[in-house]
Amino acid sequence: MILDNYMGGADAGVPPTTEPARQYYFMERAADLIRKKSEEAGRPLTFCVQTFGCQMNARDSEKLRGILERIGFVKGADESADFVLYNTCTVRENANLKVYGRLGALRRKKRENPNGIIALCGCMMQEKEVVLKLKKSYPFVDLVFGTHNVYQLAELLVRTLESDQMVVDVPDATKGAIVEDLPTDRKYSFKSGVNIMYGCNNFCSYCIVPYVRGRERSRAPEEILGEIRRLAREGVCEVMLLGQNVNSYGKGLDQEIDFARLLSMVAEVPGIERVRFMTSHPKDLSDDLIRVMASYPNICRHLHLPLQSGSTRVLNAMNRRYTKDSYLALTDRIRQAMPDISLTTDLIVGFPGETEEDFEETLDVVRRVEYDSAFTFIYSKRTGTPAAAMENQIPDDVVHKRFSRLLTLVQEIGRERTARFTGQVKDVLVESVNEQNRDLVTGRIMENAVVHFPGSASLIGKIVPVRLDVCRGFYYLGTPEF
Ligand code: SAH
Ligand code: SF4
Ligand code: F3S
């Protein structure tokens, strides 16, 4: 679906200097070039955007797809498409390795397709060493851009089509403009991510995100609410507010506003039946936020609250700015206000200097908090971060042993905790037809657990009551109660 709310024209011969008008101008120019190419080829040109990384990247990819559709590309099935774009992540080394591996395979495909264009964008491109490596070892890549000029895709594509060399345009991550109101192609018709802020100021010592995404910038509340009202009018009933740390929303804006206030305003938008948000940093999750969550029935009873480590000593070295005790006190307050809430988390194993005692503190918090689920990560050294220069990097074999102990515990506890709704009837937002069994549909309850139950595609996007009969680990099998 294309959301197009731009009212101006773009027929002048000179590119406008203001945004988003400039990008609409380039979309028309790119459309002309692509039309000619597809006439020559005797078929429409196709595109494929692959997303690596987090929800923020997934949302950027929707914007990129919206622009490509507007230009006249049609969706291709896979990487055999004419225009292949990788929206990359660099949070862990593995993410980078995956991209290089996939690029190797693309090189062969490109030789066979005279219309083939390969483009790379996203967090990994913000690293200078990566761009150098691409220039040296992957010269068949046509276009490289960063996290801050996603909105310029049309302009960059025109430059690429008019050049016979690799076009590289990666603006400094610290100087980000916010340009909205461009076409977007949403993955789901009934739910959508909404950026409320960009960047991160926290500089956790292991993390590369602040370097590649730049400083925190909040969008004005009226813009966010305008976007959500528009989405609601188009039939969206669930929004996920996105930011690296939504709890610091509003800092730096002219008006006095914080995340709790914004969340309550979003929850009051007519038609929005579910509000989620991602991610909350435990250091500044306010009691106001807990109150707002508890008092609006359409704010989902789910909080993703990354712990990273249960050891106060390690947390300190990570620059997380909370302690084991303050984290536990916070989760107690949250559970007191909303006893059924699902808590999920991120955990890192093998941070430099992590001792067996430190690791056991992590296990202890997992046992005490009883997370519904957790993402567990092996510490990955990111060049340029303070932790990369720390002594006492932990040997791989020690880390792997700890990792599998943690995973076992997380799964055991998650399984028990998730089962708490067995036998109850709960509202399920249906998201898709089940891939393994086409007689079932799949959806989520407010608390985020997945439910499969008998139904057909006509239920997609609807919220329906379902009895949760059995819990199989991390999902339920249910029966419709309607
Ligand atoms: N802004 C979010 C997290 C974004 S990155 C937050 O602070 O909650 C998602 C997760 O990746 C982090 O929570 C962390 O657990 C993990 N992560 C980040 N850097 C990492 C690294 N260098 N090695 C391993 N895991 C890392
Ligand atoms: Fe990374 Fe920390 Fe920012 Fe999250 S809060 S993105 S972990 S620096
Ligand atoms: Fe990865 Fe960038 Fe997100 S590094 S986790 S895609 S902000």
- Walk along the chain (482 residues) in steps of 10 and give the mean pLDDT of each run: 42 82 96 96 96 94 96 94 97 95 89 92 96 96 95 96 95 78 89 95 97 95 97 97 96 95 98 97 96 98 98 98 98 97 98 98 98 97 96 95 98 96 98 95 97 97 98 95 94
Burial grade of 363 (CB within 10 A; 0-12, 13-18, 19 or more): middle
pLDDT of residue 176: 67
376, 406 Cβ separation under 8 angstroms = yes
Name all residues whose Cβ lies below 6 A of ligand 1: 91-92, 206-207, 209, 244-245, 279, 281, 306, 308, 346, 348, 377, 379-380, 382
pLDDT of residue 4: 41
Question: Which ligand has the nearest atom to the CA of 279?
Answer: 1
pLDDT of residue 179: 84
Q: Is 203 in the pocket of ligand 2 (CB under 6 A)?
A: yes
pLDDT of residue 6: 42
Structure tokens belonging to residue 413: 């506890």
Length in residues, the chain = 482
Radius of gyration of the chain (CA): 23
pLDDT of residue 474: 87
199, 244, 436, 454 from 218: Cα distances, Å = 9, 11, 41, 42
pLDDT of residue 10: 45
pLDDT of residue 132: 97
- Taking alpha carbons only, the member of 239, 259, 141, 132 closest to residue 193 is 239
Cα of 125 from ligand 1 centre, angstroms: 18
pLDDT of residue 291: 98
Work out which ligand 3 atom sits closest to the CA atom of 54.
3
Q: Is 380 in the pocket of ligand 2 (CB under 6 A)?
A: no
Q: Is 214 in the pocket of ligand 3 (CB under 6 A)?
A: no
Structure tokens belonging to residue 234: 């188009």
Work out which ligand 2 atom sits closest to the CA atom of 281.
5
pLDDT of residue 108: 85
pLDDT of residue 72: 96
Q: At residue 283, what is the residue type? A: K
Please tell me the distance from the alpha carbon of residue 416 to that of residue 435, in angstroms, as a whole number: 26
Work out which ligand 3 atom sits closest to the CA atom of 87.
6
Residues 6+ apart with CB under 8 A from 406: 347, 349, 359, 362, 363, 366, 376
pLDDT of residue 13: 76
Q: Is 59 in the pocket of ligand 2 (CB under 6 A)?
A: no
Please tell me the distance from the alpha carbon of residue 404 to that of residue 219, in angstroms, as a whole number: 40
Cα of 390 from ligand 2 centre, angstroms: 18
- Give the global pTM: 0.93
Q: Whose CA is nearest to atom 5 of ligand 2?
A: 202
169, 155 Cβ separation under 8 angstroms = no
Cis omega (within 30 of 0) for bond into 20: yes
Q: Whose CA is nearest to atom 7 of ligand 3?
A: 209
Q: Is 236 in the pocket of ligand 3 (CB under 6 A)?
A: no
pLDDT of residue 2: 41
pLDDT of residue 3: 40
